[in-house]
Every structure is written in C-alpha cells, then in structure tokens.
Amino acid sequence: MLYKKKKILSGLSSIALSLLLFTGCGSTSAEIPSDAGSASNESQSDSSVLRYAVASSPKGLFSPLLSNTTYDNNVNNLVYSPLILLDENNEYKPGLAEKYEFSDDNLTITFHLRKGIKWHDGEPFTADDVLFTFTSMADPNYTGSRFNEISKIVGAQDYHDGKADSISGIKVIDENTISFTYTEVFAPSLSNFSQRGIIPKHIWSKVNIADWENSSELLNKPIGTGPYKFVEFKPDQYVELERNEDYFGGAPKIEKFIFKVTNTETELSELAKGDLDIVTLTSTKEEDFKMLKDAGIKIEEKPSANYQFLTMNSNKEFFKDKRVRQAITYAINREGMAKSLIGEHGQVVNAPISLAGWAYPESGLNTYDYSVDKAKSLLNEAGWTEKDGVLQKDGVKFEVDMLVPTGNKVREQSAPIIQQNLKDVGITVNISTMDIASAMAKTHGEGDYDMGLFGFTLEVDPGDADRYWASSIANGSQFNFSNFINTQSDELLDKATKTIDKNERKKIYAEWGKLINEEAPYVFLYSQNDIRAYNPKLEGYTYSAYSVFPGIENWTISK
C-alpha cells in the first residue's frame, strides 16, 4: 500500500519520495514606502523590512483562483495559505491542514484542519471556506483556469456543466474536517492541494463569481490566512505587506515584506548598495557576478522549473502545418542563443517538462539542431517558395508579428536573435513589445496574435500538464497558448494521472514528451537556472524550483 491511512504531515520528510508518486519587462523604477530604506545602511536601516525585486508589476489579480502571472502569484503565496505546504526540499508539511488520510482505495482524501485559525480580518477559518474555494473553481461562471485541478472529483463536471447544485464528492464533515472523493485515482492530487490557496467565503460569496475578475476593490485588498497581510499596491511601483501576528506557523520575524518593481538595468547595483534584499538574476554576465561577490552579496543557483518558449498560434494559417512549425524550430539557433545569453547557467529544452523534476525524457527527443538548410527544405515541402528573400504561398508573404513581454531581460534579448534567424529562411518577423498583462490578454480565446515569447513555471508534479495542453481548453483557456488540439496527447496525459507508480508515469510522460516534441506547437527555447542574489544579512533564506518562500516566518535580517 503506497499510503498509510493516517499520515501526520509534520512527519513527511522521511517519505517525500513516496509522496511524489501520488502528487504529482523593463519597468519603471519604484517609489517605495519611506520606512523601507536600505538594510545595509545603518542611518536608513530597518532590519524588519525585506525588499524583494520583481521584474514586472503585478496585474492586481490578488486571488489564488484568478492570478496568471508569477508577479501576482508571489503576492498570493504570502497572503493566502494552501491546505499543505512545500518546503525547500519539495517535501510536504502542514499548511491549513495538520494531517490527512487516504481511504483504502486511494479515492478519498480527508483533511483535518487546524483549529483556531483566523482570516486577516479576524473572521474564523473553517471547512466551509475550503468547500467554497474548490466549488468556485468548478462554477460554470468561473473565469479562472484551475478547473482541471478538481475536474476528477466526483460531481465536479456535472456542477461545472450546470447539471448539479453542488459537488457531491466534496463533503464537509465538521467545521475542521473536509473530504474529497475522486472518480478515479488521481496522482497529482496532493500537488494540486499544495499549490492552491484558500479564499474566504464570507467575502467572496457576496460577489457574483462571473464578476470576480473585475472586482478590483476586493482584489486589491486581499484577505487571507498567510504569513503576511496586504497593506498597499501601487501599480508599477510596489506591493507592501506586513506580518500576520496570528499566523499558524508563527509570526514572521521580518515585519514588512515589499515587492519592489525594479528596472533590470539597475537592480544589481541597488542590491549591492543595500536598496534591495533579494534579486532573481536573469543576467549571467561574469562581470555582474564579480561585482555582486565583491560587494559581499550571496549567490545561490539551482535547477529551475521554468522554461522559455516561442508559441505559434495554430489558428493562424501560417502555423497549421506541422512542417512549418518544425522548420521554425530548426531555423532558430537555440544552442547558440542559450550560450550567448545564459552561458553555463541553464540549457536548451526540447519538451514542456521541468528539468528540475523527475519526468523529463532521458532520450528519444529530436534536438532540432540548428540547420537553415533543413528549415528551408521543410518550408518548401509545405508549399512556401522564396522570392526576393521572402517566403510566399498563394500570393501571401510569410510575415508575422511576435509578442515580446517586457520584464525578463534575457527573454527580451532573445527576440532580435529569433527575428534574424527567421529572416535568414525568408520569414519576416515584426517585434511587438508590451507589458506582460497586455501580452497575456492577447492570448485569450482564439488568440489575437501570431507568435509570442513567454515562459511557464511548472508545478512539482507533471500532472498539471493538461492545464496547458488539454484539447478541451483550446480556444478558451489562457494557458493553451497555441490552441493545441491532439487526441493522443489527451489520452497520454489522462493515463499518467491515473497511474500511481512513478516509474510507469515516467514512461508515459516520456512518450508524451516525444509526441509534443514531434508536433512542435512551441519552439522550446531554454531553461535558465534559478539564480538568487541576496543580502548577506538575510539569514534562514532558502528556496526551491517549486517553493519560492519556504519557511519565510523564520527568515531574519540582522543589523
């Protein structure tokens, strides 16, 4: 039996591997609050303030059910709490639930919630809030992208389709106990619960769910149970949080946490001067590393769950032929680009599976080695002929626009390289630079774009892949950017989530990875290592590919 019936979450460290079998923008400089001065400057110092650099401003979707950017997710991860947490080793630990148990058939999970937890406004947290959160994700009028996380719960699909008034598979046993019953074994279940913060019923039940995304007043004043309370959001400048004295994990030792929107051109010097405390490095220039080390800044580097890609909208006639998509992949010198932009601090990827996890295929992937000749041959096979250096077909020139969101400096630098590479094979690319929110908006529905440069940060279990690749969400979901539709892909993803054995799941994901690699809906570019530079006075700081702020309540900044 893979799981014992009663499993205390605080004892999970020794069984993390077993659990994994079942889980799965340049911007304006910020004006920040006056009390958030330099932690390394004694005259301005406030050691109870931490400033965390972000490359782009959050959109203000401060709800774990609605957010769709890293920048909003960062805020939500500190304001809200999930049922279970991930530590720096990607092992599970108690969250809002102090323990859980599986039924003998592994179809039902029962969570036992901590007692005495209060929302940031003082209202009590109960199992009704948990029920409300997950029921809302299946509501027919829900506009977010998380339904797939609970679609396998008994009755969720009927509720989503308007055929039932509730989700029969979610049962509140008492105010501190709730159970979830699945229609079949669902391997990513624990992973999904660890990623989804719980929202307060007493606040959000007063608003029609169809209007949530436009409820700016509530979104910009979020109430959660997390380690930090929301204070203020100034778009393009900062988000200010203050510690939750009643946090169930213990009151954080750092009083204030500020997400400061920074200019990527100046953030390293700000860190060296002490005006920032944590920066996620996108620059891999040796002179930048040397400058930081000379200033006494600490640097850590770990594998990343993020990958960058060039999406091609399959609703556009240009990209409906697989040979064209493959040709574009051959035409881009990905190895050369990665070497020039990130050096040894990452690698080219060939499938949409995290290099930091266990499921990335070990072999069998087409590496699409850079070849102008191969690209031109495939394009010719697809009916495109070159005239005066530009490809044409049926009187139409191969000229497309490419969305380039600002904020990630390395990604921005890749755009002109891609533009030139594609020009070399006769494709004209017009670069359209905009903020991340505007770029994301263009991917809604059938997509008001041709190509786009984006990045995904994957979750601890690859079972979340249907959130990005399911045929059922093409032309509707924000995350199936290419509007990819493929029955074989759907079948493999479904099979993988029903399989508990990790080795068997790995084989399934290897087959799926090869299929996506062959279909080439994206040009998979590179995965840059997760590099953090931080104030040497910051103690207890740690992170992982899947957990950005583990144990934050124990971080300290010494004077």
pLDDT in tens, 70-119: 899 999 999 999 999 999 888 899 999 999 999 999 999 999 999 999 99
Q: Is the pLDDT of residue 486 over 70?
A: yes
424-437 tens-digit pLDDT: 999 999 999 999 88
In the block, tokens 């330099």 appear at 38
Q: Is the pLDDT of residue 9 over 80?
A: no
- Give the pLDDT score at 476: 78
Domain boundaries, the chain: 49-55+226-297+535-557, 81-214, 306-530
- Which of 22 and 274 is assigned the larger pLDDT? 274
What is the fold of 306-530? Dipeptide-binding Protein; domain 3 (3.10.105)
Q: Is the pLDDT of residue 552 over 60?
A: yes
Element holding 513 (H helix, E strand): helix 502-519
* Dist. CA 166–CA 177, nearest whole Å: 18
Element holding 99 (H helix, E strand): strand 97-102
* Dist. CA 544–CA 542, nearest whole Å: 7
Q: Is the pLDDT of residue 24 over 80?
A: no
463-472 tens-digit pLDDT: 889 889 999 8
Does the domain formed by 49-55+226-297+535-557 have CATH 3.40.190.10?
yes
| Confidence category of residue 10, pLDDT binned at 50, 70, 90 | very low
Q: Is the pLDDT of residue 5 over 50?
A: no
Evaluate if pTM is beyond 0.75.
Answer: yes
Alpha helices in 105-262 (DSSP H): 127-136, 156-160, 189-195, 201-204, 216-219
Instruction: Give the CA count within 13 Å in the CB-facing half-sphere of 74.
Output: 24
- Give the pLDDT score at 477: 66
Q: How many helices (H) and strands (E) does the chain have?
A: 17, 25
* Dist. CA 143–CA 134, nearest whole Å: 14
Mean pLDDT is highest, among 16-20, 209-213, 407-411, for 209-213
Q: Is the pLDDT of residue 393 over 90?
A: yes
176-188 tens-digit pLDDT: 999 999 999 999 9
- Give the pLDDT score at 436: 87
Q: Which residues does residue 531 pair with via DSSP β-bridges, in sequence order?
A: 281, 301
Q: Is the pLDDT of residue 43 over 60?
A: no
- pLDDT above 70 covers a percentage of the chain that reads 91
Cα dihedral across residues 173, 177, 178, 179: positive or negative: negative
- Give the pLDDT score at 28: 29
Average pLDDT value for residue range 149-160: 96
What is the fold of 81-214? Dipeptide-binding Protein; domain 1 (3.90.76)
| Confidence category of residue 47, pLDDT binned at 50, 70, 90 | low
